[in-house]
Amino acid sequence: MATTYDFPSDLRAGQEELHQVRAELSALLKRLPWSVEPLDGFSDDAGWRKTERPASPGWTADEQAEVEKLRRREHELAVFVTCHRFWAEVSAPDRVEARMSLKHTHGTPPEETAPTPSPQTAE
């Protein structure tokens, strides 16, 4: 049975925001042209597989700024999550499992067990 960890709320929030920032950055990079600077297209069939790229208009200043902003925030969050004081409380052999568990919490609070009714004594 997997160990459940009681992650602090700020660590959970940081991990969730890190997921969101990475998803936003990934979506943005997929929308943008393949080259930051304007470049001509090319075709190369001399390698083991053919590679083609259309001409790239490059990124606008606003697009570059948005990518930089997201990358900077991603870095801040990654440092916050990996250096959080919580990890000192977890034994070294368990940190990898705990880290993987945090990555898959997806912002849901830990399940709380419902109090079980105590058996009534017969009188």
d(CA 45, CA 59): 27
Q: Which of residues 114 and 19 earns the better pLDDT score?
A: 19
d(CA 68, CA 53): 24
pLDDT of residue 101 exceeding 90: yes
Are the C-beta atoms of 59 and 108 separated by less than 8 Å? no
Token pair, residue 69, equals 């902003």
Over range 61-71, report the average pLDDT. 98
d(CA 87, CA 94): 10
Percent of residues, the chain, with pLDDT higher than 90: 74
pTM of the prediction? 0.78
Of the listed ranges 1-5, 14-18, 33-37, 38-42, the one predicted with least confidence: 1-5
Residue 46 has a pLDDT of 86
55 Cβ contact list (under 8 Å, min separation 6): 38, 39, 40, 41
Residue 109 has a pLDDT of 54
pLDDT of residue 87 exceeding 60: yes
The secondary element (H helix, E strand) that includes residue 53 is: strand 51-53
